Structure 1
Amino acid sequence: MTDPQHPLKIPAAWAPVPDHLTPQRDITHAHFRPGEQVVILQGVAGGELWGASMRVVTPSWHTPTDENGWRLRDPDGGERSYVTAHPRYLVHLNRRCPDCLIHLRAMEDSLLPKFTGNTGVVNCGWYEITALNHMIHIGDGRQSR
């Protein structure tokens, strides 16, 4: 489910594949805890969802949505070692919780049929990184601008 290349490199152009599920996801800040491993789904690779695998570090205000968020650490480091993200962008990797599994399944049902037969990595371009290292979903970005 994670990209073999650095997952936080957001391309200038992306596949025109909408994600209407994540911005509407109703998940609370309390659903995640420091130390948990999460993934931010970003596209499809070889017939499976892939994304940025990160570790939850500490609560942090998510300025783009004006709501509680989480400071996340990219274990691979790089240009964006730490980002802040809204909890609705996150899916547990270290445990199989029902809420995350439901969201994961809905994303699979929505996306995978669109990429049948595609063996490459497709970044759907749902996220951008602000100057303050806040990860923002394009659905949320349009609402907050």
Structure 2
Amino acid sequence: MTPPSRTPPPTPAFAPTPDPLTPARDITHAHFEAGDQVIVLKGVAGGELWGDAVRVVAPSWHTPTDKDGWRLRDATGGAQTYITGHPRYLVHLSRRCPDCLIYLRAMEEHLLPKYAGHDAVVDCGWYTTTALGQLVHIADARGIR
């Protein structure tokens, strides 16, 4: 997996790729705990999955999905140091758990063939951040932009 980085601008040569996996992912709030280092997968870079690495900080209600979420801290700072995300958006980096590995492999099988042979960073455009500082997958947005 490519080292995590801040979100680059979308590569205009590619149309957004649908994400049928994340919205259907069944991961509970209890799957993660404060202190876990996780990644939010956002696309492909140089033939590998790419995303933003953050640390799980504290429980936080995720208003767009009406579910328990997590407050996430970006250790590198960036435009927004803390955001709130739904557990299904997260993949463990700090440990190798079966659920996250299965999801990671499924994402690789879904995305990597679509961008084989391309070295460009491709942001698939699945996430936005609301005015409340919540990371929202486009499938969960419910008109929130």
- TM-score, normalising length from structure 1? 0.91
Residues 45 and 121, structure 1, Cα contact 8 Å, conserved in 2: yes
Structure 2: 5+ residue runs without aligned partners? none
Q: Which has the higher helix share?
A: 1
Partner Cα separation in structure 1 for residue 66 and residue 9 of structure 2: 23
Secondary structure of 1:132 counterpart: coil
Q: Which residue of 2 aligns with 1:126?
A: 126
Secondary structure of 1:23 counterpart: coil
Deviation at 1:10, TM superposition (A): 6.5
Residues 4 and 39, structure 2, Cα contact 8 Å, conserved in 1: no
Correspondences of 1:1-145 after superposition (within 5 Å): 1-4=2-5, 6-7=6-7, 15-142=15-142
Query: 1:142–1:54: structure 2 CA closer, same or farther, 3 Å change rule?
Result: same
Residues 15 and 122, structure 1, Cα contact 8 Å, conserved in 2: no
Secondary structure of 1:105 counterpart: helix
Deviation at 1:98, TM superposition (A): 0.1
Residues 39 and 54, structure 1, Cα contact 8 Å, conserved in 2: yes
Partner Cα separation in structure 1 for residue 120 and residue 58 of structure 2: 34
Deviation at 1:25, TM superposition (A): 0.1
Secondary structure of 1:109 counterpart: helix
Deviation at 1:15, TM superposition (A): 3.1
Q: Give the AA of the match of 2:128.
A: E
Structure 1: 5+ residue runs without aligned partners? none
Counting matched residue pairs gives: 143
Instruction: State the superposition RMSD in angstroms.
Output: 2.0
Partner Cα separation in structure 1 for residue 116 and residue 72 of structure 2: 32
Residues 47 and 118, structure 2, Cα contact 8 Å, conserved in 1: yes
- TM-score, normalising length from structure 2? 0.91
Q: Percent identity?
A: 63
Partner Cα separation in structure 2 for residue 80 and residue 15 of structure 1: 26
Deviation at 1:104, TM superposition (A): 0.2
Partner Cα separation in structure 2 for residue 129 and residue 59 of structure 1: 18
Partner Cα separation in structure 2 for residue 38 and residue 15 of structure 1: 26
